[in-house]
Amino acid sequence: MSRDTVIIVAGGEGRRLGGPLPKQFLPLGEVPVLWHTLLAFHRYDPSLQIILVLHPDWTGHWQKVSRALQPPIDYQITTGGETRFHSVANGLALAEDGGLTAVHDASRPLVSRELLERTFTAAREKGNAVPATAVHDSLREVTDDGNRPVDRSRYRSIQTPQIFPTRLLKEAFRQPYDPAFTDEATVVERLGEKIHLVEGEKRNIKITATFDLKVAEMILHSDPE
C-alpha cells in the first residue's frame, strides 16, 4: 500500500530587512513552532512522507536551528513559490502517488492526533476532508456602500490539514493559477469536486501574531497532548 503524504507550507514569508522572524520559527515551549508542526504529523504516523515547503530565504536558517532538535524526523525540504498555490505545487512535485496528501499550515503547530485521525479517516471514506469550526462572533459583509449583517450559522471557519487523494490534488494543481485559489479546497473544487467538511478544533489555532503565540503557550501548558 502506498503511503500518505503531508505538505507543510511555510513558503510565503521572505526575509525582510529588519523585519521580525516569521512566527513559525519562534519558540513555543522549548522548540520552534515549526518543529511542533512536524512532530504532530510524525507522531501521528511515522511512515508518513513529510514535505516541508520553505521560503528560500529561510532554508539556511531552518537547517541550522533544526539540526539539534529531537527526536529525529525524516522529511524533505523544498522551496516555496510566489503564492501558496505555487508553494503547494512545489511540494506536490515530490509527493509519492497512490495515497492521500494532506496540506497543512506550518503555523498550526497544535493540531491534535484526534483531528488528524478524523480528517484522514473522512478523506479516505468521503473522497476528501477539510476541518471547519462554527463561527462564534456575529459576522458582517463589507459592501460597496457600507456593510450588512449575514447569518453566521451559515458560515464555517476553515482550518488545515486539507486532505485529498494525491492523484486528484496533482491534477487540480495542474490548472493555471487563479487568485481565487486561496486554499487547496478552492483548487480541487474547480475540478467539480464537492468539499467534505469535518469538525475542526479550537486548539488548532493559526499563529500569525504575538497574541496567538501566547494562546499557543497556554494550550501547550494546559493540554500538551
Residues that bind its own copies (CB under 8 A): 132, 135-142, 146-147, 149-152, 154-159, 180, 182-183, 185-186, 189, 194-195, 197, 202-203, 206, 208-209, 211, 214-215, 217-219, 222
Closest to its own copies by CB, 47 vs 138, is 138
The least distance separating its own copies from the CB of residue 202, rounded to whole angstroms, comes to 5
The least distance separating its own copies from the CB of residue 195, rounded to whole angstroms, comes to 6
Contact 65, 32 (CB under 8 A): yes
Nearest to 201 by CA among 112, 107, 68, 93: 112
Closest to its own copies by CB, 48 vs 110, is 110
Q: How far apart are CA 199 and CA 101, in angstroms?
A: 19
The least distance separating its own copies from the CB of residue 8, rounded to whole angstroms, comes to 17
The least distance separating its own copies from the CB of residue 32, rounded to whole angstroms, comes to 20
The least distance separating its own copies from the CB of residue 75, rounded to whole angstroms, comes to 25
Nearest to 109 by CA among 155, 174, 42, 191: 42
Closest to its own copies by CB, 93 vs 191, is 191
9: left (phi over 0), alpha (psi -120 to 50) or beta: beta
Closest to its own copies by CB, 149 vs 176, is 149
Torsion of CA 22, 157, 161, 175, to 10 degrees: -90
Closest to its own copies by CB, 96 vs 178, is 178
Three cell numbers written together for 203 = 486548539
Q: Which residues contact 36 (CB under 8 A, 6 or more apart)?
A: 28, 29, 109, 110, 220
Closest to its own copies by CB, 60 vs 155, is 155
Contact 200, 157 (CB under 8 A): yes
Nearest to 208 by CA among 76, 89, 109, 87: 109
The least distance separating its own copies from the CB of residue 154, rounded to whole angstroms, comes to 5
Three cell numbers written together for 196 = 467534505
